[in-house]
Amino acid sequence: MVLALEQVGVAFGGFRALTEVSLAIPPGQVTGLIGPNGAGKTTCVNTLSGFQRPGSGRVLLDGADISALPAHRMRRAGIARTFQAGRLFGGLDVLDNLACTGVGLGQRRAEAEHAAQDLLDWMGIAALASRPAAGLPYTDERRVAIARALMGAPRFLLLDEPAAGMSEHEAADLAALIRRIAGERGIGCLLIEHNVGLVLSVCAQVVVLDGGRVIETGDRAAILASRPVREAYFGADQAEAA
Amino acid sequence: MSLQLLFDALSLGGIYAIAALGIALIFGVMQLVNFAHGQFIACAVFALILPSSQAVAELGLGRLPTPLLIPVILGFGAALALLAEAAVFRPLRNAAPVALMVASFALGVALQNLLLVIYGSRPKAVSLWAGLGHPVQIGGAQVPLLQLLVIGAVALILAGLALMLKHSRIGLEMRAAAQDFGMARLLGVRANRVISGAFALSGALAAVVALVMVAQTGVADVRMGGQIMLIAFIATVLGGMGSLAGAVAAGFAIGAASALLQMALPAEARPFRDAFLYGLVILVLLFRPQGLFAPAGAKPRV
């Protein structure tokens, strides 16, 4: 069970957002995706989740080409994602936000509510169940968005900058949660983050994008030792000096 | 006297609320103000009678026994709305909101002209449920039985709808779709089902309004759809577009204001009641342009 991009290219008009990008997300572990602003990280997530059709190359799920599936079919196939903006249903309470997803995935209402309650329990946020989503504090909103993405037991979870705007402490809590999602639920996670420290602390493998190309793939040590990565992040001169 | 006013306000407001709900339901799931809604109501009215050029209409479907008539007319309204959705709005699903709105106007005009062709332009007397005009003594007030039934029916419909939205599967899907249709779709909520459901409900509510209007006024008039549509549209704006509870509350508020003005205005000013009413609406909108009960989702987040 692997979710992968194979030689994927995406262009917007004349701008090449992704060029020959290949990466693989194995089950049960967290794969990191980092890169400077505009490197193509969100385009990668969009392509992996059916929001963006690849211009060339393929999106593969267990070896099958799923490039042409629309987003809701990808979700049914087991690929869930979160959004930078959260995008909860503000007027619905937290439980209904989750239950609605279960229902959308084909569960009966009671079934969906039961699953939603279990999930909130598992994440330790059962107390939020009857709160309207619109009034949630930022970190809770993020956790509810992750809980919603976990409805229907997806096999892959794509997290688009889940720690943006969080304190060190909050980010550490989030890291623990992501480890549990991969470890206890066997879900293959892709973590996109600006917080490189968080990514290196959680991820078994890290993919580094720059200018729409993969410039490095490897474990923590390999990324830290990589010269192209240092150049991308600090510019050639500083990398020279380091 | 004041009890009488209360019953007037509740029965009038209840009808406005049901008509406004029909518009708010569809606006909620597809950002479409369905200006054909008034003509759905008119079509349901005319479905009761047989085509003729006579001043007194002969009942057609209206002849059915009441326990059969109500579901048949509600079903007719729902079917008409579903047909309109499939034939007009579904092909335009991805068009700009303005295109949808213009299409709804066009559909309304087409339906009105269809009625004119079949039934002629002359208003017709219809005697449906004639026995319900009998007054009933409640407290010190003389209340027509029909008014009590209308109030009861509106209460039942609102309670049923609230329960459905809160507890049923399609209700949950509709509420989510009304908040963020794109997101709901991504999560797998079936857009066609939700939109069809909203149209069917809206059409059935139009039929309820039609039955009550015919029973109250005893007239079938091609123009009656436009008048109720105007008030219902104002109620949805006043309630905050897309807020179902807001549409209901504003419908009742307009009904109450109408009944109050009718009583409070001096006799010479009464023919201009609606001018006072709409003046009030403008005043309210000046202070709350987003409506009285704008849904949380409508506020942009910072």
Is residue A81 domain-resident?
yes
Closest Cα in chain B to A110: B169
Number of Cα atoms under 13 Å in the Cβ half of residue A84: 11
Tokens 């709900």: give the residue.
B21
Domain boundaries, chain B: 2-297
Between CA B140 and CA B137 the distance in angstroms is 7
Residue A242 has pLDDT above 60, yes or no: no
Is residue A32 domain-resident?
yes
> Which pLDDT does position A5 carry in this prediction?
93
Class of domain B2-297: mainly alpha
Q: In A86-235, which ranges are continuous DSSP H helix?
A: 94-104, 109-123, 138-149, 168-185, 196-202, 220-225, 227-234
Tokens 């499939």: give the residue.
B86
Residue A238 has pLDDT above 60, yes or no: no
Closest Cα in chain B to A98: B187
Is residue A179 domain-resident?
yes
> Which pLDDT does position B142 carry in this prediction?
81
Instruction: Please answer yes or no on whether B179 and A90 come within 8 Å at the CB atom.
Output: yes
Instruction: Please answer yes or no on whether B188 and A105 come within 8 Å at the CB atom.
Output: yes
Is residue A94 domain-resident?
no
Instruction: Please answer yes or no on whether B297 and A71 come within 8 Å at the CB atom.
Output: no
pLDDT digits 0-9 by tens, B48-65:
988 877 777 778 877 788
Is residue A36 domain-resident?
yes
pLDDT digits 0-9 by tens, A177-221:
999 999 999 999 999 988 888 899 999 899 999 999 999 899 988
The minimum CA-CA distance between A96 and chain B, rounded to whole Å, is 7
Closest Cα in chain B to A70: B186
Is residue A160 domain-resident?
yes
The count of domains in chain A is: 1
Which residues in chain B come in under a pLDDT of 70?
A: 1, 294-302
> Which pLDDT does position A14 carry in this prediction?
82
Q: Does A94 touch chain B (CB under 8 A)?
A: no
A10: CATH: 3.40.50.300
ipTM of the complex: 0.79
Q: How many CB pairs below 8 Å do chains A and B form together? A: 66
Structural domain span for residue A205: 3-88+155-241
pLDDT digits 0-9 by tens, B248-295:
999 999 999 999 998 888 889 888 988 999 999 999 889 888 888 765
